[in-house]
Amino acid sequence: MKFADLIKPEAVKTIASASSKKRLMHEVADLASSAYGLPSQEIVDALMERETLGPTGVGQGVALPHARIAGLESVVGAFLVLEKPVDFDSVDRQPVDLAFALFAPQDAGVEHLKALALVSRNLREANLCAKLRANPDPITLYTILTETESVKAA
Protein backbone atom coordinates (compact mmCIF):
# COMPACT_ATOMS: atom_id res chain seq x y z
CA MET A 1 0.00 0.00 0.00
CA LYS A 2 1.20 3.51 -0.88
CA PHE A 3 0.00 7.06 -0.24
CA ALA A 4 -1.03 7.27 -3.89
CA ASP A 5 -3.45 4.38 -3.22
CA LEU A 6 -5.06 6.31 -0.35
CA ILE A 7 -5.38 9.88 -1.48
CA LYS A 8 -5.96 11.90 -4.60
CA PRO A 9 -4.90 15.50 -5.29
CA GLU A 10 -8.43 16.82 -4.71
CA ALA A 11 -8.27 15.52 -1.12
CA VAL A 12 -5.35 17.75 -0.10
CA LYS A 13 -5.87 21.27 1.18
CA THR A 14 -4.33 24.07 3.26
CA ILE A 15 -6.60 26.11 5.51
CA ALA A 16 -5.85 29.26 7.48
CA SER A 17 -7.19 27.92 10.75
CA ALA A 18 -9.90 25.96 12.52
CA SER A 19 -11.42 27.39 15.68
CA SER A 20 -11.71 23.99 17.38
CA LYS A 21 -11.17 20.27 17.00
CA LYS A 22 -14.80 19.86 15.93
CA ARG A 23 -14.43 22.62 13.32
CA LEU A 24 -11.35 20.82 11.98
CA MET A 25 -13.43 17.63 11.70
CA HIS A 26 -15.98 19.61 9.66
CA GLU A 27 -13.19 20.85 7.37
CA VAL A 28 -11.94 17.26 6.93
CA ALA A 29 -15.48 16.07 6.21
CA ASP A 30 -16.10 18.82 3.65
CA LEU A 31 -12.83 17.95 1.90
CA ALA A 32 -13.64 14.22 1.84
CA SER A 33 -17.16 14.96 0.69
CA SER A 34 -16.00 17.02 -2.28
CA ALA A 35 -13.14 14.65 -3.20
CA TYR A 36 -14.94 11.32 -2.80
CA GLY A 37 -18.66 12.16 -2.75
CA LEU A 38 -19.01 11.02 0.86
CA PRO A 39 -21.79 12.41 3.08
CA SER A 40 -20.24 15.25 5.07
CA GLN A 41 -22.38 15.03 8.21
CA GLU A 42 -21.96 11.25 8.41
CA ILE A 43 -18.19 11.75 8.30
CA VAL A 44 -18.24 14.34 11.08
CA ASP A 45 -20.42 12.10 13.24
CA ALA A 46 -18.20 9.06 12.63
CA LEU A 47 -14.98 11.00 13.34
CA MET A 48 -16.35 12.53 16.53
CA GLU A 49 -17.64 9.15 17.68
CA ARG A 50 -14.17 7.65 17.11
CA GLU A 51 -12.62 10.49 19.14
CA THR A 52 -14.70 9.43 22.16
CA LEU A 53 -12.64 6.22 22.25
CA GLY A 54 -9.45 8.25 22.55
CA PRO A 55 -7.92 11.23 20.80
CA THR A 56 -6.27 10.64 17.45
CA GLY A 57 -3.75 13.42 17.93
CA VAL A 58 -0.59 11.33 17.84
CA GLY A 59 1.87 14.05 18.80
CA GLN A 60 4.34 16.44 17.19
CA GLY A 61 1.50 18.46 15.66
CA VAL A 62 0.02 15.47 13.79
CA ALA A 63 -3.51 14.07 13.98
CA LEU A 64 -4.76 10.88 12.33
CA PRO A 65 -8.54 10.99 12.65
CA HIS A 66 -10.18 7.94 11.15
CA ALA A 67 -13.57 6.28 10.87
CA ARG A 68 -15.52 3.60 9.06
CA ILE A 69 -18.03 4.91 6.54
CA ALA A 70 -20.86 2.91 4.99
CA GLY A 71 -20.76 2.64 1.22
CA LEU A 72 -17.01 2.96 0.77
CA GLU A 73 -15.30 0.30 -1.32
CA SER A 74 -11.71 1.03 -0.30
CA VAL A 75 -9.73 3.01 2.26
CA VAL A 76 -9.36 6.67 1.27
CA GLY A 77 -7.73 9.67 2.87
CA ALA A 78 -7.86 13.43 3.15
CA PHE A 79 -4.97 15.66 4.21
CA LEU A 80 -5.12 19.15 5.70
CA VAL A 81 -2.39 21.56 6.69
CA LEU A 82 -3.46 24.28 9.11
CA GLU A 83 -1.59 27.57 8.99
CA LYS A 84 -2.59 28.12 12.62
CA PRO A 85 -2.51 24.97 14.82
CA VAL A 86 -5.58 23.91 16.81
CA ASP A 87 -5.87 22.17 20.17
CA PHE A 88 -6.66 18.51 19.47
CA ASP A 89 -6.26 16.80 22.85
CA SER A 90 -3.09 15.19 21.49
CA VAL A 91 -1.08 12.73 23.53
CA ASP A 92 1.75 15.28 23.90
CA ARG A 93 -0.71 18.17 24.47
CA GLN A 94 0.72 20.02 21.45
CA PRO A 95 -1.65 21.68 18.98
CA VAL A 96 -2.17 20.06 15.59
CA ASP A 97 -1.29 21.58 12.23
CA LEU A 98 -1.14 18.40 10.09
CA ALA A 99 -4.22 16.17 9.86
CA PHE A 100 -4.37 13.04 7.72
CA ALA A 101 -7.84 11.52 7.95
CA LEU A 102 -8.58 7.97 6.85
CA PHE A 103 -11.97 6.54 5.94
CA ALA A 104 -12.51 2.82 5.62
CA PRO A 105 -15.39 0.60 4.53
CA GLN A 106 -17.48 -0.82 7.37
CA ASP A 107 -16.02 -4.30 6.85
CA ALA A 108 -12.40 -3.23 6.24
CA GLY A 109 -10.06 -5.24 8.38
CA VAL A 110 -6.37 -5.42 7.68
CA GLU A 111 -6.46 -2.77 4.90
CA HIS A 112 -7.58 -0.11 7.37
CA LEU A 113 -4.78 -1.11 9.78
CA LYS A 114 -2.19 -1.12 6.99
CA ALA A 115 -3.28 2.37 5.92
CA LEU A 116 -3.09 3.68 9.50
CA ALA A 117 0.36 2.15 9.93
CA LEU A 118 1.61 3.66 6.65
CA VAL A 119 0.39 7.16 7.46
CA SER A 120 1.53 6.99 11.08
CA ARG A 121 4.99 5.70 10.18
CA ASN A 122 5.57 8.38 7.55
CA LEU A 123 4.16 11.32 9.52
CA ARG A 124 6.48 10.50 12.43
CA GLU A 125 9.40 11.55 10.22
CA ALA A 126 10.44 15.08 11.13
CA ASN A 127 11.88 15.82 7.67
CA LEU A 128 8.66 14.91 5.91
CA CYS A 129 6.55 16.97 8.33
CA ALA A 130 8.89 19.95 7.89
CA LYS A 131 8.46 19.76 4.10
CA LEU A 132 4.69 19.54 4.45
CA ARG A 133 4.59 22.52 6.80
CA ALA A 134 6.76 24.60 4.44
CA ASN A 135 4.56 24.11 1.37
CA PRO A 136 1.04 25.56 1.34
CA ASP A 137 0.28 24.52 -2.26
CA PRO A 138 -2.04 21.45 -2.34
CA ILE A 139 -0.44 19.96 -5.47
CA THR A 140 3.02 20.29 -3.93
CA LEU A 141 1.73 18.69 -0.71
CA TYR A 142 0.24 15.80 -2.69
CA THR A 143 3.54 15.32 -4.53
CA ILE A 144 5.52 15.33 -1.26
CA LEU A 145 3.18 12.73 0.24
CA THR A 146 3.12 10.43 -2.76
CA GLU A 147 6.83 10.68 -3.55
CA THR A 148 7.74 9.60 -0.01
CA GLU A 149 7.65 5.91 -0.97
CA SER A 150 9.65 6.45 -4.16
CA VAL A 151 12.51 8.05 -2.25
CA LYS A 152 12.51 5.24 0.33
CA ALA A 153 12.46 2.59 -2.37
CA ALA A 154 15.46 4.03 -4.22
Residues annotated as part of the active site: 66
Query: What is the C-alpha end-to-end distance of the chain, expressed in Å?
Result: 17
Asked whether 39 and 26 are in contact (CB, 8 A), the reply is: no
Q: Is residue 12 classed exposed, middle or buried when 0-12, 13-18 and 19+ CB atoms within 10 A define those classes?
A: buried
Find out whether 122 and 62 touch, Cβ atoms under 8 Å. no
Q: What share of the chain is helix, strand, coil (3-state, %, to 5)?
A: 50, 20, 30
Q: DSSP letter for 91, please.
A: T
- Beta pairing class for 57-59 and 62-63: antiparallel
**C-alpha neighbours within 13 Å on the C-beta side of residue 137:** 4
